[in-house]
Amino acid sequence: MYAVVATGGKQYRVAVGDILDVERLTPAEDGSVALRPVMLVGDDGAVTVAPDALGAASVRASVVEDRKGPKITVFMYRNKTGYRRKTGHRQPLTRLRVDEISA
Closest CA to 42 of 5, 3, 75: 3
Q: How does the average pLDDT of the chain come out, rounded?
A: 94
pLDDT-based confidence at residue 87 (cuts at 50, 70, 90): very high
Query: Would the pTM of this model clear 0.75, i.e. be above it?
Result: yes
Tell me the residue range of the domain where 85 lies.
2-102
Per-residue pLDDT tens for 22-31? 999 999 999 9
> Domain count of the chain?
1
Interval 76-85 mean pLDDT: 97
- CB-hemisphere CA count at 13 Å for 45? 0
Per-residue pLDDT tens for 31-72? 999 998 999 999 888 888 888 888 889 999 999 999 999 999
